[in-house]
Amino acid sequence: MLFNPQKYAIPDERMQPFIDPDEIWSCLRTAKPDAKAVRDVIARSLSRQRLSLQETALLLNAEDPELIEEIKEGARQLKREVYGNRIVLFAPLYIGNKCTNDCVYCGFRTSNREAVRKTLSDGEIVREIECLEDQGQKRLILVYGEHPDYDAQYIAHTVKLAY
């Protein structure tokens, strides 16, 4: 997949909140999807190009039933090309919930004062994996908050433990 970051109102800075709800709502209010624009966005997604916020808003605002069906078919086609004709489920293994972000939808958010912050030790990670294996789990997704303690080296270390 080609990575072509878009320029948004909030710069993408390390350990800084990057979701601007006002910008999202503004895009949703102003996006006026016409058939050509929607089809161009579908084609762009099928070429595995990252969609901009504005392009995503065009798809979300489509009301024409025929265009909505084309959006769904494009999504099905892209899903088949990327993942094949299967559904894969992963058991989450929560490694640590420290986080510097404040995403309103997430329990890890920094303003959640009720959260007990915990990072599993190596031994705890191994024991959790053994329990998941005993339950028949074959695939895991390791889950971390975004925090300086969870840098690339730490994540690589915990992935090695999982294997």
Dump pLDDT digits (tens) for 50-81: 898 899 999 999 999 999 999 999 999 999 99
Q: How many domains does the chain have?
A: 2
Note the pLDDT of residue 130: 95
Residue 39 inside a domain? The answer is: yes
Q: By residue range, what is the domain housing residue 34?
A: 21-83
Residue 115 inside a domain? The answer is: yes
Note the pLDDT of residue 7: 57
Note the pLDDT of residue 156: 95
Contact 126, 161 (CB under 8 A): yes
* Per-residue pLDDT tens digits for 78-106: 999 988 888 888 999 999 999 999 998 99
Could you list the beta-strand ranges (E) of 10-121: 91-96
A 10 A CB-CB count for 114 gives: 5
Residue 2 inside a domain? The answer is: no
Task: Measure the CA–CA gap between 55 and 58, rounded to whole angstroms.
Answer: 5
User: Average pLDDT, stretch 12-31?
Assistant: 80
Q: Which two tokens stand for residue 34?
A: 């016409």
Q: Which of 4, 157, 20 is nearest to 101 (CA)?
A: 20
Q: Are residues 60 and 111 in the same domain?
A: no
Q: Nearest 5°: phi and psi at 145?
A: -75, 170
- pLDDT of 19 above 80: no
Global model pTM greater than 0.75:
no
Note the pLDDT of residue 13: 67
